[in-house]
């Protein structure tokens, strides 16, 4: 079960997401469902089509069942299958 404490060790595809901050200011405020994730990008399906957002220097607001979690893209830079094995010190 995905919770705010273990979200970094779970699959992000399928979650509702909003870009809270990004180095590209045009991407701030984009909302949609995560449909793909690579090592360095997240792809959101928005009302205007699919948009790729770089994880580096971005902050994502993810909606879980009853919670909203804000995560730094720098913390999730890794292939999804490698990230779930990674140990996080400060999270």
* pLDDT tens digits, one per residue of 15-65: 999 999 999 999 999 999 999 999 999 999 999 999 999 999 999 999 998
Check residue 88 and give its pLDDT.
Answer: 66
69-85 mean pLDDT: 90
Instruction: Let me know if residue 90 belongs to a domain.
Output: no
| Partner residues linked to 44 by β-bridges | 34, 51
59-82 mean pLDDT: 93
Report the domain count for the chain. Answer: 1
- Which residue do the tokens 């779970």 mark? 10
- CA dist 16 and 65 (Å) reads 10
- CA dist 17 and 19 (Å) reads 7
- CA dist 47 and 75 (Å) reads 27
CATH code (residue 77): 2.30.30.210
Owning domain of residue 46: 7-83
Instruction: Let me know if residue 91 belongs to a domain.
Output: no
Check residue 89 and give its pLDDT.
Answer: 64
Q: How many CB atoms lie within 10 A of CB 78?
A: 16
């Amino acid at each position: 079960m995905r919770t705010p404490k273990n979200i970094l060790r779970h699959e992000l595809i399928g979650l509702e997401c909003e870009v809270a901050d990004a180095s590209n200011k045009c991407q701030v405020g984009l909302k949609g469902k995560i449909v793909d994730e690579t090592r360095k990008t997240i792809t959101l399906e928005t009302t205007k089509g699919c948009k790729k957002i770089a994880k580096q220097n971005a902050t994502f607001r993810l909606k879980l069942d009853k919670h909203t979690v804000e995560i730094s893209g720098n913390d999730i830079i890794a292939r999804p299958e490698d990230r779930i094995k990674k140990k996080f010190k400060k999270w």
